Amino acid sequence: MGWPLIGETFHFYSQHPTSFFLGKQKRYGEIFKTHIHGCPCVMLATPEAARFILVTQAHLFKPTYPQSKERLIGPSALFFHQSETHLRLRKLIQSSLSPDPVRALVPHIHALAISALPSSLNNGHLIDTYHQMKKFSFEVGILAIFGHLENTNYREELRTNYSIVNKGYNSFPTNIPGTLYKKAIKARKRLEEIISCIISEKKEKRSEVVLGEKNLLSCLVKWRDEKGESLSDEQIADNIIGVLFAAQDTTASVLTWVVKYLHDNPKILEAVKVEQKVIEEDINEGSGPMRWAHTRTMPFTNKVVLESLRLASIISFTFREAVADVEYKGYLIPKGWKVMPLFRNIHHNPDYFVDPHKFDPSRFEVAPRPNTFMPFGSGVHACPGNELAKLEILIMIHHLVTNFRWELAGQRDGIEHGPFPVPINGLPIRVWRLSTLN
* Residues that constitute the known binding site: 383
Q: Write the burial class of residue 218 (CB in 10 Å: 0-12 exposed, 13-18 middle, 19+ buried).
A: buried
Alpha carbons 225 and 210: distance in angstroms, whole number: 16
Alpha carbons 169 and 237: distance in angstroms, whole number: 17
DSSP type of residue 239: H
b/e map 44-65, b = 16+ CB within 10 Å: bbbbebbbbbbeeebebbbbbb
Alpha carbons 66 and 72: distance in angstroms, whole number: 10
Vertex 320 angle, CA 38 and 73, to 5°: 75
DSSP type of residue 434: G
Vertex 104 angle, CA 113 and 302, to 5°: 60
What are the C-alpha distances in Å from 35 to residues 8, 48, 171, 196, 337? 6, 23, 19, 40, 10
SS3 187: helix
Q: Provide the annotated binding site for heme.
A: 383
233-264 and 266-286 helices, crossing angle to 10°: 120
User: Which of these, 205, 89, 67, lies nearest to 147 by C-alpha position?
Assistant: 205
Alpha carbons 158 and 164: distance in angstroms, whole number: 10
Strand (E) or helix (H) holding 295: helix 292-295
